Amino acid sequence: MNISKDTVVQFHYTLKDDKGELIESTAGKDPMAYLHGHSNIIPGLEKALEGKAVGDSFTVTVEPKDGYGPRQENAMQRISLKHLQGARKWKPGMMAFVETDKGYRQVTVVKVGKFNADVDTNHPLAGKTLVFDIQVADIREASAEEKSHGHAHGVGGHHH
């Protein structure tokens, strides 16, 4: 079976920037799971996974335009502390999640006040060229429920 639209794919990855600095990895953790063909993952990665089979491993370099986009200047926003999720006490430099109409968005805390925080809404990986080492761990047909939700359930996917 090969990766195509409406398959649920599990894969391990190690992500480095173009200078070889480690950013994140699933080594020793559950693989990442996603529903192929539904823009669950960045376009450059989804395109590279198309047609691959279980056991395939490869390296793909993703430019910002196929990744998290360019960094935007003036991406600062003031947000009420009660809308920041991921920690109880906030300090500059910490990552937070904010719920938006497009789902959860990762932001970086820049300044913390008594009731509000200034956050940079650029994705932390915006503007970066990303180098992924990928290993495909599992491929299966998506369930009807997963297709209607537009995401994968189970290990590495959504739980609800």
- Residues in contact with Zn ion by the rule CB under 5 A: 149, 158
Q: CB nearer to Zn ion: give 105 or 158.
A: 158
- In the numeric block, which tokens belong to residue 36? 């192929």
Q: CB nearer to Zn ion: give 111 or 158.
A: 158
Shortest distance (Å) from residue 128 CB to Zn ion? 29
Shortest distance (Å) from residue 160 CB to Zn ion? 6
Q: CB nearer to Zn ion: give 70 or 150.
A: 150
Shortest distance (Å) from residue 36 CB to Zn ion? 15
Q: Output the residue with the shortest Cβ distance to Zn ion.
A: 149
| Three-class secondary structure assignment of 70-131 | CCCCCCEEEEEHHHCECCCCCCCCCEEEEEECCEEEEEEEEEECCCEEEEECCCCCCCCCEE
Q: CB nearer to Zn ion: give 17 or 99.
A: 99
Which candidate, 49, 88, 79, places its Cα nearest to that of 66? 49
Which candidate, 19, 28, 23, places its Cα nearest to that of 124? 23
